[in-house]
Homo-oligomer: A and B are copies of this chain.
């Protein structure tokens, strides 16, 4: 009985991120009824017909395709959503922009700055709507952190630190490459944890605390050889298993970042903390409904870190969901990004992070990798 306008989506890819995006498109209208546009799952595209057909059936896509060029060529498609391995982002995004489609691209934008620049150029030349799925900005507790920082509560910032710790590649029997494990193959992914995990940390950090000026980094590959799924042969591992760096932000504060897939005990421990003159904030993805806040201006006898359960109706996005005390989860961040994308269409404004903004994260990632390989400080150019 809906009277909304439709936004017909063509999604390229059928892996993990394809599920999160698809779910977001299906749910957004239920929880954001004020939006004028409603996404329609027009088509999903994948190389393996059997698998893409099953995906389409499970998620109620109107159709499926096996060649992404066909999707872009279809006149009924308004927006292209790119969920492929990183090495395909540039070609698809540029073609989609040239065809005048809106483009939503999974992060990181591309494998390198060199690959990103033509994407930004194409988007800007075509003047099409665009966004990159750095979804963690839209965890309500992270959005709240942004509000608190922007309000000036923290005062002058001294420190920012973040890490993203996982442990799923410790087993040396784990193969690399292929459809399932392309994140372990630098040719497909561009890099290891730097593009996969640190990119999230860097995006959030620059959103909250401004540009990163220069970096000093180190990387490590703990397991040097693995069987490659595509060839079945033992091959050199080309990605970074761990990456650590410190940096200056343009505002004079110091940054410390670490990411690894070898931190036993941590599944997806993305945490950040920011220390200001008056107040500090810390956050942890494992308990994403909470934000920790410390304010030195509190009366001294009752001064302490506050554990804020970010579920009340006055918290970012939370009027859309349940009632105080009742949690939301990981998938909601994607619903929020679709909602904001649809709002930006109605408002005629950009939907952050745009391709251009995401390229800045790319520049930091590249400076980090350059610093690690040259064992020297590198400017980011930001």
Which residues of A are at the interface with B, using a C-beta cutoff of 8 A? 1-3, 16, 20, 22-23, 26-27, 29-30, 33, 56-62, 144, 147-148, 153-154, 158-159, 161, 165-168, 170, 216, 218, 220, 222, 242, 244-246, 248, 252, 254, 256, 258, 260, 262-269, 275-280, 285-296, 298, 300-309, 311-312, 314-315, 321-332, 375-377
Contacts and interface: CB of A to CB of B under 8 A. Distances in A.
A35 to B, nearest CB: 11
Q: Which 9 residue pairs of A and B lie closest in terms of their CB atoms, listed nearest first?
A: A268-B325, A267-B325, A265-B294, A304-B306, A304-B308, A326-B330, A267-B324, A158-B262, A329-B329
Contacts of A252: 222
Contact of A329 (B3, B20, B254, B327): B327
A315 to B, nearest CB: 7
Contact of A268 (B16, B153, B314, B324): B324
Q: How many of these chains are in the complex?
A: 4
Contacts of A286: 289, 309, 325, 327
A196 to B, nearest CB: 13
Contacts of A264: 154, 158, 275-280, 294, 296
A244 B301 CA distance: 32
B269 A325 contact: yes
A346 B256 CA distance: 46
A147 B277 contact: no
A302 B148 contact: yes
Contacts of A16: 322-323
A56 B304 contact: no
B148 A242 contact: no
Contacts of A301: 144, 147-148, 308, 314-315
Nearest to A322: B330
B330 A158 contact: no
A89 to B, nearest CB: 21
Given A56-B1, A256-B244, A268-B324, A159 B30 contact: no
A339 B23 CA distance: 17
B302 A304 contact: no
